[in-house]
Amino acid sequence: MLRRLRAENATEYIALREEALVNAPLAFEASLGEDFASDPAILADHLVGAPEQAIFGVFETRLVGVAGIFRSRPRKAAHKAHVWGMYVANANRRRGHARALLEATIKHARSLPGVLWLHVSVTSGAPEARALYESAGFVEWGAEPEALRHGGQTATEFYLALQLERPAA
């Protein structure tokens, strides 16, 4: 089952987020102990905040996958939304959960008036995620070599975008 997370899912979300940071350290800029998305106060804002931000989750008796979305706050950038924190637990992959989560974020972005672009970044440490984004129509517009360093390894961060609609002339 896929649905938008609520405040009562915070503990489960934080546990899955910590699992993601441990299992895929080069897929996320955050590290344990310094992750804003694991901060209960910030998380509460995403779970019960404005419609411009949401976290979606996939449940198989427990939470096994998540993806967040937020709209840029500055007025001049409010035509953009951003996917963040996509993760599906290793044991629950290859079941279509990541695609369903991505589709939920795209649908949510399309529901926000005036949002024309959906952005996501993905590292070279997550090639399956990049393939998923590209299969949904995202295209690369830039890259940052050696964006992340962990355990003697580096990862390039790729920036991708999906045009949701053409702006009026």
pLDDT 10s digits, 27-79: 999 988 888 777 777 777 777 767 889 999 999 999 999 999 999 989 999 99
Task: For residue 19, give the H/E element and its range.
Answer: helix 10-23
With H, G, I as helix, E, B as strand and everything else as coil, classify residue 145: strand
Question: Does 55 reside within a domain?
Answer: yes
Question: Does 37 reside within a domain?
Answer: yes
Question: Does 126 reside within a domain?
Answer: yes
Question: Does 168 reside within a domain?
Answer: no
Domain range for 126 is: 2-163
CATH of the domain at 67: 3.40.630.30
C-alpha 49/C-alpha 158 separation (Å) is 28
Question: Does 101 reside within a domain?
Answer: yes
- Domains in the chain: how many in total? 1
Question: Does 52 reside within a domain?
Answer: yes
Global confidence as pTM: 0.92
C-alpha 96/C-alpha 114 separation (Å) is 29
